[in-house]
Structures are given as C-alpha cells and as structure tokens.
Amino acid sequence: MEFNAATIAGFLKGEIEGNPEIKVNTVAKIEEGHAGSLSFLANPKYEHYLYSTKSSIVLVNRDFVPAYKVEATLIRVENAYNAFASLLRMVDQARPRKKGIHPSAIIEQSAVIGKDVYIGPFAYIGENCRIGDGCSVYPQVYIGDSTIIGNKSTLYPGVKIYHECMIGENCVIHAGTVIGSDGFGFAPQSESEFMKIPQIGNVVIEDNVEIGANVAIDRATMGSTIIRKGVKLDNLIQIGHNVEIGENTVMAGQTGIAGSTKVGKNCMFAGQVGIAGHLKIADGVKIGAQAGIPGDIRKENAAVIGYPAIDLREFLKSSVIFRKLPDLQAKVYELEKQVKQLKDK
C-alpha cells in the first residue's frame, strides 16, 4: 500500500511541513530510513538521526523545534509515538485475514462455531465449546471441552487451552501459551511423599487481553484464576493458581506470580519480577526489573525495586552506598588497626 503525506496527516490530524504529495509504502526506524519509508521521532536521544535520515516522512511531536535543516517531510502530531502506533495498527488491520475451516481440523459435534471464523490445520475444538464470530484459531491449537472463546479473538499456532476456561472478546494469545494447566498444588504426606490436590477451577480472561508467547496461566484450585480486561502480558510469564490481575496491568517477560496473589489495576511490572503467594498489590504500583516482592504493597502508585523490594528513591540512595562499600570496608579495617594500636599503648 502507498500513501502520501496529505493522506497520513489527515488520518492523524497532523500538520505537514514539506511536500504534501510525497509518498511512502513502508515504515522504518529513523536511523535505518530510506526513500519511500515513514519514521517517527519521539525520544530526544535519536534526534541526531533526523538530520541524516533518508526517510521520506517523519512524524514528530507538535512542539518539536529542529536544531538544523531537515530534508524529510515532517508531520507534526500531538504524540509521535502514539501516532506511529496508530499507523502500524491500520496497516496490520489492512492485511488479508485467513478464513474458513481447514478439512484436517477436528471439531466435536457439540461445539458451536460462530460466523466468519478461521480454523487452521490440525486444530482441535472439544465438546460443548463455543467459538465466537470472527475468531482465528491457527494450526495445532487445542481447545478443551466446554471452553468459551469470545468474538474476534485470535489464538496463534500451538496455543493450548484446557477445559472449561473462558476467553473474552478481542483477545490475542500468542504461540505456545498454555492456559488452564493445573496449579502447583501438593499436600505433604511424609518427608518424601506429596499428594496432588485436584485443581477443579478454571481460568477467566476478560476482553481486550493480549498474552505473549510461551506464557503459562494455571487454573484455580477452586473458583477462577482471573485476568481482567485490558491486561498485557509479555512472553515467558508464569501466573499461578487463583491469581487475579487487575484491569490494564502490564507485565514484562519472565515475571512470575505465585498462587492466590491479587494484583491491582494499572500496575506495571518490569522483567523478571517475582511475587510471593497470597499477597495484595495495590492499584498503579510500578515494580522494577528483577525485584522480589515478599510482602503486600498496599500503597497505591508506589514504585519499588530490589530484593526484597524497597521504595525506588530509597533504592537509588542505597545504590550510591553499595558502590562505595569496598572503600568503606578498607576504612573500617584501618580504623580497627588504629584502635588496636592505641589499646596496645
């Protein structure tokens, strides 16, 4: 597809500086721009690329003031990053969508399949399942008995959803993710033996959730493990049984949340965060990378980092001391030596 600057500016409600008729047919990073491509500038540390980029069009913030002459046509918008994301979304939605049911797919007779769906090769849909209108079920997806998939949801290749789970509308679940596997529940019987506790609950995922590749979300022991609407999970995340993740919370890769923890809405977790079980995390909490959370965080909008996690500002102050520990140790040894010499006298 090809668009000129005037069309793009109209879509984004932006202002053009340069040639309104110049055309682009692809997107590129500003440092890798070439003729016919569109880029954006949002982070000031990339500004120097603006003056050498070969991109034909660059999106910039409305209040941006260039330091030097810019060869590319500029489109000024309120937020260049968000505007670029909107364009990518438009391009993605314009791609032709697969439709139809492949003859090698296995669909049990009691399953109900909606309109305008795609079900790929070797997918399996169990008894009493309901697949909503406009869904895409890619090859080798497994959907267990009595599972419900809402309208316009997409399950990419190799997704496995166990029995009696519920997926909302407009959800995206990427390849290799497992939803509804047993929670880690074992009761010790002796020093060398454990009895498995049956996990008879399910997983409920509300609308507009996106889940990355190779995520594991365990079913509840009783009741439901719940992922609220708008949640975004990165790749390689583990969600334990009976966990609840609040609306619009986002988590980066390799985060792990132990069973029965309740996470509030609008939280942000960086990569490799670990959260112990049976905790409560307040709304709006931000947790830095590799932080360990052994106890509740009840203060809304708190920012913490470290293990055990402490307030971000306190951590930054402490990090200054961490770097000086070798010098401080040397000074303590020297003081001890001097004290000993004084005592000997």
- Would you state the structure tokens that stand for residue 273, as one six-digit string? 């965060």
Q: What angle do CA 84, 207, 163 make, to 5 degrees?
A: 130
Residues 30, 48: contact at Cβ < 8 Å? no
Q: What angle do CA 263, 265, 269 make, to 5 degrees?
A: 65
Q: What angle do CA 49, 51, 57 make, to 5 degrees?
A: 85
- Would you state the structure tokens that stand for residue 58, as one six-digit string? 């660059």
Cα 163 from Cα 43, distance rounded (Å): 45
Cα 28 from Cα 38, distance rounded (Å): 6
Residue 199 CA, chain-centre distance (Å), reads 27
- Would you state the structure tokens that stand for residue 132, as one six-digit string? 């909503």
Please identify which of the residues 48, 174, 241, 278 carries the catalytic annotation.
241
Q: Is 241 a catalytic residue?
A: yes
Q: How many helices (H) and strands (E) does the chain have?
A: 4, 40
What residues act catalytically?
241
